[in-house]
Amino acid sequence: MATDRLQQDVSTAIVSDSSEALSGCFESTDWSIFSDPSLDATADVTSAYIAFCADTVLETKSCTVYPNTKPWSGDRDEVKAVQRQLTKQIREDKRRFATKLENNFREGNSRQYWQDVQTITSYKPKKVPLKTTDEAKLAGELNTFYARFDQRNFSEEQRKVMEEVLSRPSTPIIITTDEVRSTFKKVKARSAAGPDNITGRRLRECGDSLAPVYRELFQRSLDEHSIPAIWKSSILVPVPKKPNPLTLNDYRPVAHTSIPFKCAEKLVLRRLRLETEDHQDPLQFAYTRNRSTEDAILTLVHNVSAHLEKPSSYARC
């Protein structure tokens, strides 16, 4: 066990050194050379340079795990003691599960009984993948299926809305470096990267170095009323909704968007809430902090139940 702790400390030190080296690389960079009249070009070059530095500085290691790989190597007596404890616990859990199975059978709970039987027999429904002989063709079909709502061109409507918004007097939004740094520190380390190939761990560990860079990009995006294309793009991952996907609609599109732009959205949303919270409907649950679908259902059930307590009343949903 002492050896395992030592190996863990060593691996933590290696990760820390790599992060410090990457942060030092960013701090010694002259970011002004990436500035371009086009915001799209500036965002693309900045993202590509960050990904290049990460690939160059950080060490990657691949390891293969086999079924017979031992979980740890240490004191044999301690291993045997843990194995005996595990065997005893498994025996106790089997006895408890058998009692549960008998009770479900006596009480007539057939649904739970058959689920327990399937658990004992390791029964799993056979998964039938979507039949296709060409993966590229399937990807194209999914892309067309997901983009079926984007056929109409809204450029004219967007132009009118932009003209109306710009004609109104407003206070410019100013983003500070401390706000960006604080938001980067709260990013989940395991967040999947978007099209800019910037992971959550990379953004969190190097937030102090990258905060001034992205602060300039965020501020410029707000001042120019424009969003770079790389921030509006996303990587769609089709996830099956059920075990046996048969049609394209059986796949749920999960979008991986740019993590830095998600942080920019949080910074703007924080200011929008201050302006809109006093005007929101008290029964609004969507896009509202600390409210969920369960809250909406409970509120509906409560209001309907309270109404039905009155004589000669009814509710129709």
Give this prediction's pTM.
0.66
Residue pLDDT tens, the chain, 317 long: 444 443 444 344 445 678 888 888 898 899 989 888 999 999 999 999 998 988 888 777 777 777 777 666 667 788 888 889 999 999 999 999 989 888 888 888 888 888 888 888 888 776 656 566 677 888 888 888 888 877 788 888 888 988 888 888 878 889 999 999 999 999 998 888 999 999 898 898 898 999 999 999 999 999 988 899 999 988 888 888 887 777 888 888 888 999 999 999 999 988 888 888 888 888 888 878 788 888 999 999 999 999 999 888 888 88
233, with CB counted inside 10 A (0-12, 13-18, 19+), is middle
Question: Per the domain annotation, does 22 fall within a domain?
Answer: yes
Count how many domains the chain has: 2
Which residues have CB under 8 Å from 19's CB, separation 6+?
A: 205, 206
Q: Find out whether 20 and 90 touch, Cβ atoms under 8 Å.
A: no
161 and 52 in a common domain: yes
244 and 161 in a common domain: yes
Question: Per the domain annotation, does 266 fall within a domain?
Answer: yes
Range of the domain at 298: 280-317
311 and 300 in a common domain: yes
40 and 53 in a common domain: yes
255 and 178 in a common domain: yes
Residue 158 to residue 139: CA distance in whole angstroms: 30
